[in-house]
Amino acid sequence: MKRSAIAIALLVTAVYLTGCSGVKETVENAERLKFKLGTVDKIKIGGVNFSNIKSVDQLNISQSASLLGSITSGSLPASFTVNLIAKNPDTYPGGSKESSSLIKGLDWRFLVDDKEMVTGEIDQTITIPGVGQQVTIPIPVQVDIIKMLGDGGIERIMNLVNAMNGTGGASSRVSLKIKPTIDTFLGGISYPGEIEVVNKEFR
């Protein structure tokens, strides 16, 4: 009986140590991930599709009326897609070569001119494959932006659209702050703090 108990204890210890080693390796691989802000597209505000609209002059009478009607009603629903790019770096010190990383979930905050516009979370597993590879993670957003307009009207809406879609280099006004949760052998492990994601470079 003693020998059986000792054997079981040794087996449990071995499994535990193997699991801890696997978790450590998973975390090290995940820490190497880099993120960058891609495009913000499929922008729709007050029922108007802004995909091909770059200035107020391009709005027709019906679109202008729709926007003014929404502003007057006190509600201006907006929807768009924020494309987050995740990349495994080309080098792998401290991690495993060609090892994929799994993001179990992702808390995010979308900011324009350093002002928080909307927050949300992705509750699904995302695979970031191999060294040097990258994936685009689309984040669908729905938010009422009426309070962001202040005293502005359609011009303010257009300014906001141009900031989001990068017209005239304005994408530098947009950022994303994220906090990923890594999927490990022992469950999810969240990053200790937020990562600021911008369009200029991987971070």
Query: Given this model, what pLDDT does residue 94 score?
Result: 52
Residue 202 lies in a domain: no
| pLDDT confidence band for 16 (50 / 70 / 90) | very low
Give the pLDDT band (50/70/90) at residue 11. Answer: very low
Domain of 116? 2-197
pLDDT at 27: 63
pLDDT in tens, 102-112: 888 999 999 98
pLDDT at position 167, please?
65
- 150 lies in some domain: yes
Q: How many domains does the chain have?
A: 1
Residue 14's pLDDT is: 37
**Tokens 């009986």 label which residue?**
1
Domain presence at residue 181? yes
Residue 163 one-letter amino acid: A
Say if 203 falls within a structural domain: no
Retrieve residue 120's tokens: 């949300």
113 within some domain: yes
Is residue 87 scored above 80 in pLDDT?
A: yes
The reply to whether 16 falls in a domain is yes
Q: Which residues of 10-47 are buried (b: 16+ CB within 10 A; e: fewer)?
A: eeeeeeeeeeeeebebbebbbebbbbbbbbbebbebbe
145 in a structural domain: yes
- Say if 185 falls within a structural domain: yes
